[in-house]
Amino acid sequence: MTERVEQESPLSPLTTPCAAALLALADDELVIGHRHSEWLGLSPFLEEDLTLSSIAQDEFGHARALYGLIWPDWADRDAGVTRRPASQWRSCALTELAGNPWELSLVRHFLYDLAEPLRWTGLAEEFGDQVSGLTQLCTTVIAEERFHARHATDLVMRLAQDEGGRHRLDAQFAALAPLVSGLSPGMTEAGWSAYQQAVNRVLCEGGLPELSLVPCLPNAEDRTVRSAAFASIHAQLVEVASFDPTATW
């Protein structure tokens, strides 16, 4: 470790609609990756341990790339991102929610990752000409996110093969549906329509009730309220750095 001189962010991430939208998605990616990683060694089967860990690493990488676009000149960016006070985070409640039981994590994984290609596409279309490298990043990420969505879809279909599995899934879909509107930054009205169709297509094939996902398109700047579940995530993210706030690692 060496002595670290605290450096404030050289750019407020909420100064423009573009930066705010990128930060909302970046924080979603970091937090959902963290929630996925909590299942390492605890998933119902070994294959899922490995796959979900790989997906978590992808999400961490996506978050880091977005933070790099928002704060390209912030020397202590990686540490500074996690050291932010809770009031400066912009993750949504769906990602922050604790992931127990397993069916909750699976349904969240499904709802989140079916939206991701649409969110990244929307960001590229709206802000690609404003941020160098954003369009290329979106193209790369969308290919990875389609794998994530296929993985989640396959698991939902497998669990839905018996009555008990369908009952557990149905309960979690009903509980999480109201939180889906928080995925709005990057999602266009056309994207919302495509998303609802994609979700309900899988549910119908699995013998599950359709969901009514009301489109909600708030400004990314409005993501200022953290859920009760965020405190535990934030504490874990800053745990190591808190041992010595003056150090750089």
Q: What is the pLDDT of residues 97-120, one digit of tens each?
A: 987 888 999 999 999 999 999 999
Cβ 127 vs Cβ 21: under 8 Å: yes
Copy the structure tokens of residue 123: 């960001």
| Amino acid found at 128 | G
Q: What is the C-alpha to C-alpha distance for residues 34 and 39, in angstroms, rounded to an integer?
A: 9
3-class DSSP assignment, residue 248: strand
Return the pLDDT at 156.
94
pTM equals: 0.89
Q: What is the C-alpha to C-alpha distance for residues 87 and 158, in angstroms, rounded to an integer?
A: 39
Average pLDDT over the chain, rounded to an integer:
84
User: What would the pLDDT profile of 171-204 be if each residue is shown by its tens digit?
Assistant: 999 999 989 988 877 788 888 899 999 999 999 9
User: What would the pLDDT profile of 110-157 be if each residue is shown by its tens digit?
Assistant: 999 999 999 999 999 999 999 989 999 999 999 999 999 999 999 999
Looking at residue 66, the DSSP 8-state letter turns out to be: H
| Amino acid found at 123 | L
Cβ 213 vs Cβ 118: under 8 Å: no
